Amino acid sequence: MSLPDSPLALLNNLTPTEFLAEYWQKKPLLIRQAIPNFEGLLTPNELAGLACEETVEARIIQNKNDQWQVEDAPFNEDDFTSLPEKYWTLLVQSVNHHLPEAAGLLSLFSFIPLARLDDLMVSYAPTGGSVGAHLDSYDVFLLQGGGTRRWEISTQTDFTLVENAPLRLLKYFKAEQEWVLSPGDMLYLPPNIAHHGVSEDDDCMTYSIGFRAPGKQELMQGFLEHLQDIVQAGGLYEDADLGLQQHPAEISADMIAKVETILQNIKWDKSTISGFLGRVLTEPKVGVFFEPVDTDATGEVTIDNFSQALSEQTLWLDLQSILLFSSNNFYINGELLSVPTNIQTCIQELADKRSLNTPLLNDAQRRMLAETLHTALLSGYIAVE
């Protein structure tokens, strides 16, 4: 098995421009053999092993006589050996944070901005395994790995949920279309399309490539918090012209006008918004931790030996790192990264491809990269391999 060499092949000769214009956030699309005979990136046992690690977010979902049960990771071997033969699902989030091979798969979806990428979730289910009828608040590509899965979808607007369920399950689901996906088939769903997937056999693995769509309330609240951090105003409220009021308890129109004038001094522009998005879109998820360089084991990592390493090996983003840019401003893991003009194209390539072939650069560029990224290296955000 090999991955397609371009999004054009992934979309069955539908160009990315056509896909974005006709389907993105508009309507579902079924693509047969998006990746012909896709075998997946890991086996069911490897996925279960991943779910046993302390730092991995995973769930086991069971459906017993229409009673749903959810257990959270970490798991152990006994948790899996005690499961029934049917009607359960293992979901593992952010597999791209733990599996280097995931980068090649996600790169096929680079026609969608990385600023929108959420994660790669992988699920395993024996026959009858499902997470119930539900809808998502994000765009998702459902790529079938091993086995087969039956998908039913609906454009219904009744989003009433099942009461007291441990999952956000739709109480009333009426399928309008259905397909059985085999290895390599893929289904794209925009946000808020009701869907229900059920494993058809004992080897069903589905790869869900999700693209987040932040809520408007979330964006507004986050931006106000961002303004709180960057807006500075000196002085005190002044009312040297204060006059007598008929009602001492009244908040006067004069006071309201004075505060209105103060608040009108809160200004923002596109640069402010860019800085907010750069930080919030690269902020690591809860539970993500980076391993700083162990200088006791490796010795001091100086800019000089970092520069030398760049002449011999490739520079990589850590699997959990997010690096984005807007114009000449760069952001990594929620932090502003100051990048000299001479190497901005290099950092852009690192952001786009998650790696940079630094031996091809000249000595001056490597030195400048080492100076710019030294702190990021020590923090575990990047690596040289």
pLDDT tens-place string over residues 221-231: 999 999 999 99
Q: CA 353 to CA 365: how far, in whole Å?
A: 18
In this prediction, residue 132 carries a pLDDT of: 96
Average pLDDT over residues 315-341: 97
Measured distance CA(66)–CA(70) in Å, rounded: 13
The pair of structure tokens assigned to 169 is 């399950």
**Average pLDDT along the chain:** 94
* Contact between residue 284 and residue 320 where contact means Cβ atoms under 8 Å apart: yes
pTM exceeds cut of 0.95: no
> What pLDDT was estimated at residue 298?
67
pLDDT of residue 247: 97
What average pLDDT does the segment 21-32 reach?
A: 96
Place of tokens 């760069």: 330
Spans of all domains in the chain: 7-211, 295-384
Q: What is the pLDDT of residue 154?
A: 97
Q: Please report, to the nearest 10 degrees, the dihedral formed by the alpha carbons of residues 212, 218, 224, 230 taken in order.
A: -30
- What's 7-211's CATH class? mainly beta
Residues forming beta bridges with residue 332, ordered by sequence position = 323, 335
DSSP per-residue codes, 117-174: EEEEEEEEE-TT-B--SB--SSEEEEEE-SS-EEEEEE-----PBPTT-SS--BSS--
| DSSP one-letter string for 19-31 | HHHHTTTT--EEE
CA distance 286 to 57: 10
281 pLDDT higher than 70: yes
pLDDT at 97: 97
- Does 348 score more than 80 pLDDT? yes
Residues 58-92: tens digit of each pLDDT = 999 999 888 999 999 999 999 999 999 999 999 99
The stretch 282-291 carries a mean pLDDT of 93
Give the burial string for 142-152 (b: 16+ CB within 10 Å, else e).
bbbbbbbbbbb
| Least confident segment among 23-37, 84-98, 292-306 | 292-306
pLDDT confidence of residue 297: 64
pLDDT at position 10 is 87
* Per-position DSSP letters for 317-334, written without gaps between them: E-TT--EEEETTEEEETT
The per-residue pLDDT for 3 is 78
* CATH 3.40.366.30 matches 295-384: yes
- Is the pLDDT at 291 greater than 80? The verdict is yes
Q: What is the mean pLDDT of residues 194-214?
A: 95
Mean pLDDT is lowest, of 60-69, 80-89, 247-256, 335-344, for 60-69
Point out the least confidently predicted range of 290-304, 308-322, 340-354.
290-304
Contact, 151 vs 181, CB < 8 A? yes
Q: How confident is the model at residue 263 (pLDDT cuts 50, 70, 90)?
A: very high
Partnered with residue 186 across adjacent β-strands are 31, 143
Task: Report residue 342's pLDDT band, with 50, 70 and 90 as the boundaries.
Answer: very high
Average pLDDT over residues 286-290: 92
- pLDDT exceeds cutoff 90 at 295: no
Distances (CA, A) of 50 to 40, 47, 90, 123, 320: 15, 5, 11, 12, 15
pLDDT of 144-201, one tens digit each? 999 999 999 999 999 999 999 999 999 999 999 999 999 999 999 999 999 999 999 9
pLDDT the model gives residue 7? 74
Biggest alpha carbon distance in the chain? 84
What does the pLDDT read at residue 48?
97
Q: Is 290 exposed, middle or buried (0-12, 13-18, 19+ CB in 10 A)?
A: middle
The HSE-up count of residue 279 (CA atoms within 13 Å, CB side) is 15
Least confident interval from 10-24, 286-300, 361-375 = 286-300
